[in-house]
Chain A
Amino acid sequence: MSESARKKQRTTPRNSEAREGADEATPYSNLRQLSSVIPKPITPFRRASSAGPTPGSRRTPNIAIRTPGTAARTPRGGPGARPLPACRAAPTTPHAIRALRERANAARTPGHNRRRSGRVQRETPRDTLRDLSRILARTTQPIQPSPQLPELVPRNPAFDLPDIDDGPEPVAPRLSMPLEDMYDDDSIHEAPPRQSLLPELPDDVDTGTIHSLEFGRRALSEDPRMLFSTRISERLADLNQLGIDGEEYEIDGTFINRISAADADQLLDNAIDEPLDDTTTELRALTGRRDGRASDINLGIFGEQDEPDEPTFRFTIPQRIQETRPPEPLEEEGESEDADLDAQPDVIAPEDDATGGLEIGGWESDLGADDDLDLQAYREEVSAVNRSLQTQSPERRVPAEGGPRRQRRELKVSRYGHEYPTFPAATVKRLVNGIAKPQGSNAKISKDTLATIMQATDWFFEQVGEDLAAYAQHAGRKQIEERDIVTLMKRYVTIYVLLPHTAHPHGILRLTGYITGSAKSQ
């Protein structure tokens, strides 16, 4: 009964405003029931917003008597209707003044009234439907398009059979088209790199090789480490010459053979240059740690060693880079061996053999299966070459081999060629836990942390061994004695323990306590 009463009251103004009211009485009434029953708090607010003048607003006690009168003037009365009484009394703040002006302007414009009448029309049946649709649609909308889109694609070819035939044909060119278009259509842009580097190649349309070759050279030139050595320019010149010499490219004309030819020469160059590095003993920081005993070099190295450790990501990332442009990382391997103490090349090389052939086929559609086989073979060659290079300069390569194998519990080889086991991680973990607990850190040592500490341990023993050997040699002994390690420890104590406490009267006592305490803690 109350619903019918509401209908009458509501419908009367709507009939005057909207023409649809009478026809849609039955569905509208149903929807009205829903709207009136379910979202009661919402309805008065919305009526106030758009349908202020409707009699529904008269009922609502919040808006009170003013709303119908004001609503006739102000179309947007709803949200502003409530603050209005307060604001009209004293619109002191600039925002309130602006709001009032806007309202007045909005009331004067006739277009708003029209729209408003439209809104009123909508509100009668459509608004409730909209509310329902909004409530429903938010859940349904995301679901609908996803089935529709995939369905549309198969449907079209299903209806049109020729489309199916047409479909796959453009797909294959799409993969290669952009590259071809780039070089065929844009002859102006194409000309400089191709003709200068590889004049005879463009017939083969192996654009990827050209790019990769270029990138490799740029990487060499841009590599900050390389900038220090004056030899870069020579190398670059050689590389350019090698790149210009296209004899081997001509013969096979396949993608890989060219690179292999070029890279083999490049590797040879590297091989030639590396012994020079050893003889000249430059101040390259990375060689210095092994060879030179000068502390300056070591200081520099430690700073740089921080970087190669953090990108353990390199183990993963360069693989992907290799897949897209194979020659570059190979060159980088050669360079990184010069540069880095870590064992990245060893890790990378076997993984190349495993992954390289498969994924390259997926990446570059131009390559055939034969090319992949050649690539694998070629990479194996490269890795072999690298290993041979490693054996040439054992002092540098040794730690490189040692790094990754630490966890495998294999024997590492020191710079003197002696194999040595890894310090057991369990011992280190126990020690570290024993140290960390009294310091107040309750958290357990994570795997990564332990691995880092293990690496530091390796370095520490390496450093200690070298230092002890140096002390023993200085004393003219062949054997390392306790004096040597005592001297070594004294150095640490005097600089880092004693000196800071010298100002303090009990510094020495503290020092002794420090040592004895730590000895007890063992």
Chain B
Amino acid sequence: MAPSTTLYPRATLKKIVKAHSNRPLTKNVDILVFLNYTLFLQELMKEASIKSKQSGERGISARSVRRVREHCLRKFKG
């Protein structure tokens, strides 16, 4: 992770969450949301790499990600 560049666009993330929740956010919620999102991505990539290795693919293919992502989304469901 390059520290010099911004980690993520805060305003964009805030807008996204705000639009989906229809509620205002307090100051630092978006950071935690991003943390959650990072964990989700990590989980997703882990599962996808496992899946792709199981199916004998070289890299992580879109198919393996597609297979895995619902499960991962469900994991992160509140």
Binding site for B on A (CB under 8 A): 295, 298-299, 302-303, 305-306, 309-310, 413-416, 418-424, 427-428, 430-432, 434-436, 439-441, 443-446, 448-449, 451-453, 455-457, 459-472, 478-482, 484-489, 491-492, 495-496, 518-519, 521-522
Q: Say yes or no: A492 contacts B19, CB within 8 Å.
A: no
Residues of the B chain whose Cβ atoms lie less than 8 Å from the Cβ of A428? 41
Contact B20–A519 (Cβ < 8 Å): no
- B59: contacting residue among A306, A423, A443, A467, CB under 8 A: A443
Partner pick for B78 among A445, A455, A487, CB 8 A cutoff: A487
Given contacts A441-B59, A484-B29, contact A436 B70 (CB under 8 A): no
Whether the Cβ atoms of A306 and B70 lie closer than 8 Å is yes
Separation of A329 and B49 alpha carbons in the complex (Å): 37
> In the complex, A492 Cα to B35 Cα: how many Å?
13
- Contacting residues, chain A, for B77 (C-beta < 8 A): 295, 298, 463, 467
Contact B65 A469 (CB under 8 A): no
- The residue that A448 contacts in the complex, of B34, B37, B38, B62, with Cβ under 8 A, is B62
Q: How far is the CA of A485 from the CA of B37 in the complex (A)?
A: 11
For B12, give its contact among A414, A423, A481 (CB under 8 Å): A423
Chain A residues lying within 8 Å of B67, measured Cβ to Cβ, are 306
Q: In the complex, A459→B40 CA distance in Å?
A: 11
**B1 to chain A: closest CB distance in Å?**
5
Chain A contact residues: helix, strand, loop or mixed: helix
Q: CA A482 – CA B28 in complex, angstroms?
A: 7
Of the candidates B12, B24, B35, B62, the one whose C-beta lies within 8 Å of that of A452 is B62
Q: Which residues of chain B have a CB within 8 Å of any CB of chain A?
A: 1-2, 5, 7-9, 12-13, 15-26, 28-29, 32-42, 44-46, 48-49, 58-63, 65-67, 69-78
Contact yes or no, A418 B25, CB < 8 A: no
Contact count A vs B, C-beta below 8 Å: 205
Least distance between A18 CB and chain B CB atoms (Å): 63
Residues of A within 8 Å of B33, CB to CB, are 461, 464, 468, 485
Q: A309-B66, A521-B1 are in contact. Are A480 and B19 (CB under 8 A)?
A: no
Contacts of A444 in B (CB 8 A): 59
CA distance A488 to B39 in the complex (A): 12
Q: In the complex, which residue of chain B has the Cβ closest to the Cβ of A444?
A: B59
Specify the chain A residue showing the minimal Cβ separation from B39.
A518
Main secondary structure of the interface of B (DSSP, over half): helix
Which residues of the other chain, A, contact B18 by a CB distance below 8 angstroms? 418, 420, 465
**Given pairs A295-B77, A436-B49, 7 additional interface contacts (CB within 8 A):** A305-B70, A439-B49, A441-B49, A449-B48, A464-B78, A470-B78, A489-B39
B16 engages A468 (CB within 8 Å): no
Counting chain A CB atoms within 10 Å of each CB, which of B16, B28, B59, B60 scores highest? B16
A468 to B58, CA, bound (A): 38
For residue B41, give the distance in angstroms from its CB to the closest CB of chain A. 6
Q: Which residue of A lies closest to B58 (CB)?
A: A443
A460 near B73: Cβ-Cβ < 8 Å = yes
Distance in angstroms between the alpha carbons of A472 and B15 in the assembled complex: 17
Name which residue of chain B comes closest to A497, CB basis.
B39
A–B Cβ pairs within 8 angstroms, 28 of them: A299-B74, A303-B70, A306-B67, A306-B70, A310-B63, A414-B20, A414-B22, A420-B15, A420-B19, A421-B12, A422-B12, A427-B8, A431-B1, A441-B49, A441-B59, A443-B58, A449-B62, A452-B66, A464-B78, A468-B23, A469-B22, A479-B23, A485-B32, A488-B76, A492-B75, A496-B75, A518-B39, A521-B38
